[in-house]
Amino acid sequence: MMNDTYKNPQQTTGNRQKNNSTSTDRYATCALIAGITGLICSFFYLPVSLISGTSSPTGLICGVLGIILAIMSRKAGVKPGQPMATRAIIGIVLSILSIVLTFFFFQMLVSYYETLSDPIKGPQLNDLINRVQEQLNQQLQLYGNPS
């Protein structure tokens, strides 16, 4: 039997093209995953920031990472004029959406804290929050203690 060390040059170039195609697909898939993760993280940005008191923009980070990975998937292609993979395009769209939502929720968080620091609107907002909490507690007691 022949040793596989010396291969036909046509086989190795075909394998390189196949590897480039799979690396394009891998980058595109990672861009899609980063976009989905960024979208999920951006939806939880406001509640987690209010509960924990810290502000970590993971939706923004995942969104930027998704855009970078999508661009890398295009650069990893075999042909320079090759169109972007569908997964990479969807990853870019979801990443941009997660960045926009993170900035939107950050702006809502800033305006919430500004309203709390206002001498007139702050106590009104606190009263509103307390009334909502009381109503929720009453609803929980009604459903928690069936008679």
The DSSP line for 52-91 is HS----HHHHHHHHHHHHHHHHHHTSSSTTPPPPHHHHHH
Does residue 122 belong to any structural domain of this protein?
no
Q: How many domains is the chain built from?
A: 1
Please give the Cα distance from 132 to 67 (Å, whole number): 40
By mean pLDDT, which of 21-25, 44-48, 64-68, 109-113 is the weakest? 21-25
Q: pTM to 2 decimals?
A: 0.70
Contact 22, 78 (CB under 8 A): no
Domain coverage including residue 30: 9-105
Angstrom distance (rounded) from CA 93 to CA 85: 13
Residue 128 domain flag: no
Q: Is residue 33 part of a domain?
A: yes
Of 52, 35, 50, the closest CA to residue 101 belongs to 35
Residue 15 predicted with pLDDT over 50 = no
Tokens representing 138 are 């009453």
Q: What is the structure's pLDDT at 3? A: 53
Position 55 in a domain:
yes
- Residue 62 included in any domain: yes
Specify if 63 maps to a domain. yes
Residue 125 lies in a domain: no
What tokens does 69 get? 């990975």
